Structure 1
Amino acid sequence: MCGRYSLFTEEDNREIMRIVQNITARYPENNMKRGEIFPTNTVPVLKAENSQIAADLSIWGFPNFRTKGVIINARSETADEKRTFRESLHSRRCVIPSTGFYEWSQDGTKTKYRFTLPGQNTLYMAGIFNEFKGEQRFVILTTEANNSMADIHNRMPVILPRDKIEDWILTEEFAVPYLHAVMPPLDRAPEERVTTGK
């Protein structure tokens, strides 16, 4: 499960600032959300445009036509079997830039943790997107949690190394097998110790 993540825009985070600036140049009047990101927020994603990687705006969550609300995650193990996700997995992959993601402990304390990559201030998550009634929407792919967070939650986002972003978006032969890759170890900090930035 990944139900919340962060997109902090400190000036020294050049990767995130470059993406935000590209979005602002493309859409001078936009409703891009920063800080703590919730489902249905409009946020940056990276996707293919004319065989190049481009930043675009997208809404987090596919419409849920069976019940109210939105679908925010797709299980990587079964995405290829689900009609809702199959075509997007093969032809509409995206990357969600972030500065970490949140999860809550299940031990009764409900402690909120932010997970990040050690030594890095940017974390890229694998996603898929589609268009619904003229709106571009995405979901985050999840996989079984590794040892660095399994005691907090049994699911985690599919995380992409920076040098594999292009491969994920453009190359199906890389993307589908990568869904079974071992995820990298993560750092975590209780929310009260996290500097939230802008």
Structure 2
Amino acid sequence: MCGRYQFTAEQCEEIRQIADAIQRKYGADAWSPGEVRPANRAPVLLDDAGGPVPKLMKWGYQLPGTLVINARAETATEKPLFRDSVRNRRCLIPSTGFYEWDSQKRKYLFTLPREDALYMAGLYDRRGNEDCYCILTTSPNASMRPVHDRMPLILTGEQRHRWLADDDAAARILTVASPELMRTSAEAQISLW
């Protein structure tokens, strides 16, 4: 499961460009970079003929009594809630890392080695009057397994473009293993919330 992630524009030029595009499109007060939590609005990337375009959406599919923030990559094509989104509404969730807690409730930040940006595969839909997204998760790899039994489906390089634009490739991408990650303790980080 992925329950929080980080979108910090200061440390990454790619992320800064996305943040700048969002601010130009929606205004400076439309959202705040930092730690992203369920039900927050945050940038996602959608396919456009000219390449990926950023859009601000709410994290989570709102259903009666619950907010669905993750979808299992292994079963998303079978589940009525996600099936059409897998075919027609795929997105990328840009971040600078994601958080997970171990069984002792210690918080860790996971990032890509030698990369400042981390892109998670996602789906989006319109629920009520709001566009929203969820993060696809998969079985953990060796770097994640000591902490949690699920992890986001992380896309690198050409996978990102194919996920957004190529329907046939998207089905195959659902089964790829995520890259190995760096894990650092987030316990010392100060949160204002």
Q: Same fold (TM over 0.5)?
A: yes
* Structure 2 residue aligned with 1:86: 83
Paired residue type of 2:181: L
What runs of 5+ residues in structure 2 fail to find an aligned partner?
A: none
Structure 1 residue 175 displacement after superposition: 0.8
TM-score by length of 1: 0.91
What runs of 5+ residues in structure 1 fail to find an aligned partner?
A: none
The count of corresponding residues between Structure 1 and Structure 2 is 191
Q: Distance in 1 between matches of 2:48 and 2:154?
A: 22
Residues 15-164 of structure 1 aligned to structure 2 (within 5 Å): 15-28=14-27, 30-50=29-49, 52-65=51-64, 68-106=65-103, 109-164=104-159
Q: Distance in 2 between matches of 1:147 and 1:103?
A: 15
Which deviates more, 26-35 or 136-145?
A: 26-35
Aligned partners of 1:114 and 1:194 also within 8 Å: no
Aligned partners of 1:44 and 1:57 also within 8 Å: yes
CA RMSD of aligned residues (A): 1.6
Identity, % of aligned pairs?
A: 41
